[in-house]
């Protein structure tokens, strides 16, 4: 089921979003200051490419919390809102509910990426 879900996800737009996150990551990594933000963009690209069968474990300490607060203020809130809207639109139909759940998972990561680790379920 994971394989079918990931294939459908990629065909229906996941590849474009993942490429977008990767491009953002490369642009952010051009400067030394942007490298930590670029690494989080690469994390989002990996989860966006194949979200089925992966979970996100949250951890980190005070440094991660501080970085997440800056992230939320700069871009995180807008990214999370976009994923929540996509998730709600996916959940309109019964067939779209699994895709909506994946969008909600990505919304949480887009909001709070520092200290998070993506693991295979």
Domain extent at residue 32:
2-120
Closest CA to 118 of 61, 62, 48, 71: 48
- Note the pLDDT of residue 85: 94
Q: How many CB atoms lie within 10 A of CB 105?
A: 19
pTM score, two decimals?
0.85
pLDDT tens, position by position, 4-33: 989 988 988 889 889 999 999 999 899 998
Q: Number of folded domains in the chain?
A: 1
pLDDT tens, position by position, 76-88: 899 899 999 999 9
Whole-angstrom Cα distance, residue 38 to residue 29? 5
């Amino acid at each position: 089921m994971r394989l079918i879900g990931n294939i459908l996800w990629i065909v229906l737009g996941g590849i474009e979003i993942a490429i977008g996150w990767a491009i953002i990551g490369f642009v952010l990594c051009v400067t030394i200051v942007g490298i930590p933000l670029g690494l989080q963009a690469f994390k989002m690209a990996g989860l966006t490419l194949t979200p089925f069968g992966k979970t996100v474990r949250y951890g980190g300490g005070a440094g991660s919390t501080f970085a997440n607060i800056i992230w939320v203020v700069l871009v995180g809130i807008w990214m999370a809102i976009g994923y929540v809207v996509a998730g709600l639109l996916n959940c309109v139909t019964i067939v779209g509910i699994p895709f909506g759940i994946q969008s909600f998972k990505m919304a949480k990561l887009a909001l709070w990426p520092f200290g998070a680790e993506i693991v295979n379920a």
